[in-house]
């Protein structure tokens, strides 16, 4: 009996090793060198801007009381201290790396690269302009709004990856359910319920989280998804598909976990405040626009 068990164990291990090798081989075969150069250019640009004198960097930040088109764009590539820069570069590396891997293995490379180009070229001005809706005497800077745009794209990439790899009959039209759930989660993170705050404003985060949960569940149900069965199937394919399932699990963990970085319970820091508004804008715009294109059948490869 022990010998038989060992044989089965060895066979399972060999099968997992083969699956993992196949995953790595396919990923390397689909990756394009020019894409890696584009991805690597972003931290290079952020580092180059950081090497400028502080006075120059401050002149490139977005002043809400004196906005210009130039600073609306440049501000998102400006950092005033190394910790802020390192955090955003690390966040970009994880989000862009996982997102790109999901996209190329799902056959949606063009979709990802087009979205990334839009985030880098157009979103800085758009986010800065929308920021003017909240007047303040301050300056805005940092790459975190673009990082949150990549986080907003991640549920879409997980959706196309799951459909192409695990659930070919799945409909992408159910993806807004994930959007509602994540927005509710962000609201709970940004507006946590604390002792002594059980009034209207103190319960805003919890109320929004519950609304997001209910909307997500209702949307999923209206799309014909059986929630419990879908969860069981998702766990099963993630566990049974070495490499491909691992990447999917990492993507899900990142989609749920990264909002804890973008929406801290206490947004104040030393001489600065985390711009929760621009983070939410980045996430929402990056989901809504690309989802409309996916639902319309664009970028099918």
Q: How many CB atoms lie within 10 A of CB 271?
A: 7
- pLDDT category of residue 1 using cuts at 50, 70 and 90: very low
Question: What's the CA angle centered on 101, arms 77 and 21, to 5 degrees?
Answer: 145
Neighbours of 10 (CB within 10 A): 10
pLDDT of residue 11: 47
CB 193 within 8 A of CB 203: yes
Residue 158 has pLDDT above 50, yes or no: yes
Q: Rounded CA gap, 48 and 78, in Å?
A: 10
pLDDT value, residue 136: 83
Separation of alpha carbons 297 and 293, rounded Å: 6
In this predicted model, what pLDDT tens digit does every residue of 269-284 receive, in sequence order?
Answer: 766 889 999 999 999 9
Specify whether the backbone of 299 is left (phi greater than 0), alpha (psi in -120 to 50) or beta. left
Question: By three-state DSSP, how is residue 272 classified?
Answer: strand
List all residues 6 or more positions away from 160 whose beta carbon is below 8 Å from its beta carbon.
102, 103, 106, 107, 108, 111, 172, 294
Judging by beta carbons within 10 Å of its beta carbon (0-12, 13-18, 19+), is residue 149 exposed, middle or buried?
buried
204-258: pLDDT as tens digits: 888 899 999 999 999 988 878 887 887 888 888 878 888 899 999 999 999 999 9
The percentage of residues in the chain with a pLDDT greater than 90, rounded to a whole number, is 65
Residues 125 and 71: their CA atoms lie apart, in Å, by: 8
Cα 1–chain centre separation: 48
* Whether residue 109 has pLDDT greater than 60: yes
Q: What are phi and psi of 272, to 5 degrees?
A: -150, 165
pTM greater than 0.85:
yes
Percentage of residues in the chain having pLDDT higher than 70: 89
Dist. CA 124–CA 144, nearest whole Å: 11
Residue 5 reports pLDDT greater than 50: no
| Per-residue pLDDT tens digits for 31-61 | 999 999 999 999 999 999 999 999 999 999 9
């Amino acid at each position: 009996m022990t010998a038989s068990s060992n044989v089965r164990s060895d066979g399972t291990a060999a099968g997992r090793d083969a699956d993992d090798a196949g995953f790595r081989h396919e990923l390397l075969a689909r990756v394009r060198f020019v894409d890696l150069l584009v991805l690597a250019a972003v931290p290079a640009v952020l580092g180059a801007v950081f090497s400028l004198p502080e006075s120059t960097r401050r002149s490139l930040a977005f002043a809400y009381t004196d906005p210009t088109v130039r600073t609306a764009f440049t501000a998102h590539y400006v950092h005033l201290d190394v910790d802020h820069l390192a955090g955003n570069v690390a966040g970009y590396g994880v989000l862009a790396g996982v997102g790109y891997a999901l996209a190329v293995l799902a056959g949606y490379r063009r979709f990802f690269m087009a979205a990334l180009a839009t985030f880098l070229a157009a979103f800085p001005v758009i986010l800065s302009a929308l920021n003017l809706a909240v007047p303040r005497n301050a300056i805005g800077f940092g790459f975190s709004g673009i990082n949150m745009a990549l986080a907003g794209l991640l549920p879409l990439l997980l959706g196309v990856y799951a459909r192409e790899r695990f659930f070919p009959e799945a409909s992408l039209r159910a993806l807004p359910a994930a959007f509602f759930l994540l927005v509710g989660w962000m609201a709970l993170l940004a507006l946590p319920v604390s002792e002594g705050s059980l009034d209207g404003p103190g319960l805003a985060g919890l109320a929004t989280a519950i609304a997001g949960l209910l909307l997500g569940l209702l949307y999923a149900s209206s799309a014909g998804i059986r929630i419990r069965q879908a969860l069981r199937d998702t766990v099963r394919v993630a566990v049974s598909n070495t490499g491909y399932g691992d990447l999917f699990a990492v993507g899900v963990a990142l989609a749920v976990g990264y909002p804890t970085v973008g929406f801290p319970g206490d947004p104040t820091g030393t001489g600065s405040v985390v711009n929760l508004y621009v983070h939410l804008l980045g996430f929402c715009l990056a989901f809504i626009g690309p989802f409309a294109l996916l639902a319309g059948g664009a970028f099918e490869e």
